[in-house]
Amino acid sequence: MKKNVLRSILAAVLCAGSLSAMAATNWTLTNSAANEPEVTGWKATSNASDIYKTSVGYWSGSGIGVGGESSSDNQHALDNKDGYELALLSFDSAVRLESVRAGWTYNDTDIFVMAFTGLGSMTAVQSLDGGTFSNLTSRGWTLIGNYADIGTSTRNLGTTSGAFENTYSSFWLIGAGGFASGVGVTNDTTSTCTGYDRRGKCNAWVDQPKYDYLKLANVTGTVKPPSSSVGTVPEPGSLALAGIALLGMVGLRRRERAH
């Protein structure tokens, strides 16, 4: 009986440690190199042109944008007008990204999310620098998904179960627009009237790109749990339960002596 009680207490301690390690974390995005994660901006003028590093702007309360801080033509945002833009999130450890929230949006707000899953000895930065949007998925990047009209509400990425449940990476990309492997960035279109007849009825329609603009405020995710508990530091919750377990053992010893 006493052994069963001790085993139950030990199981509770181990379970609490496991749950603590799997708890989701919220990260606020800024343009500071000291921030976790570090955010860098990347851009290309077309799907076939080379990707290059660019600036990241930060607006408190709204989040980060890529491509400079000019307010003209919404170039302060992460967008896909006059070139395609990416925010690279670099974490100190492997993370499963689980949600994204924008703090500011304009027009359309489609995004795509990718994780760096590796390609030989090539690093995430090397895979971007000189790569193109059309060949990203052949340079170590895995498309996690396209997410339409995210607005300013938290958008879950669907990674807590299913195909990407075990996808952890230190490097994640968030881009404006949609994405198709082998093609690159895609845009929604909207029909615009370009000509009218004598009665004022439209007789000429043209499909035009529907551009996406947003500033990324924060992301959430789960840090990959260690494969072994050897050498790891117990978290506060685990330590507290361990203390409870020790008190329980002391109580059992005292009852044993009393009898």
Q: Could you report the per-residue pLDDT of 49-86, keeping only the tens digit for each? A: 999 999 999 999 999 999 865 444 456 899 999 999 99
Q: Based on the structure, what is the number of domains in the chain?
A: 2
Residue 238 has pLDDT above 60, yes or no: no
- 10 with 30, same domain: the answer is no
| pLDDT tier, 114 (very low <50, low <70, confident <90, very high otherwise) | very high
- 149 with 190, same domain: the answer is yes
Encoding tokens for residue 182?
Answer: 């082998």
CA dist 148 → 109, 155, 156, 237 (Å): 7, 10, 12, 38
- 108 with 164, same domain: the answer is yes
- 159 with 68, same domain: the answer is yes
What DSSP string runs through 46-83? STTSPPEEE-EEEETTTEEEES-S--GGGTTSEE-SSS
Angle at 139 between CA 138 and CA 145, to 5 degrees: 70
pLDDT at 22: 66
Residue 20 has pLDDT above 70, yes or no: no
- 70 with 156, same domain: the answer is yes
pTM for the whole thing?
A: 0.78
Cis check: omega of the bond before 226, within 30 degrees of 0: no
Encoding tokens for residue 241?
Answer: 């339960």
* Parallel/antiparallel/unpaired status of strands 24-28 and 63-66: unpaired
Q: How far apart are CA 48 and CA 127, in angstroms?
A: 15
- 248 with 159, same domain: the answer is no
Helix or strand or coil: residue 34?
coil
Domain containing residue 164 = 24-224
- 3 with 121, same domain: the answer is no
State CA 204 to chain mean position distance: 42
pLDDT at 63: 97
- 15 with 126, same domain: the answer is no
- 133 with 169, same domain: the answer is yes
Containing 95, the helix (H) or strand (E) segment is strand 84-107
Strands, E, within 108-168: which ranges?
A: 111-116, 141-147, 155-156
- 88 with 104, same domain: the answer is yes
- 177 with 67, same domain: the answer is yes
Burial of residue 176 (CB within 10 Å: 0-12, 13-18, 19+) is buried
- 111 with 190, same domain: the answer is yes
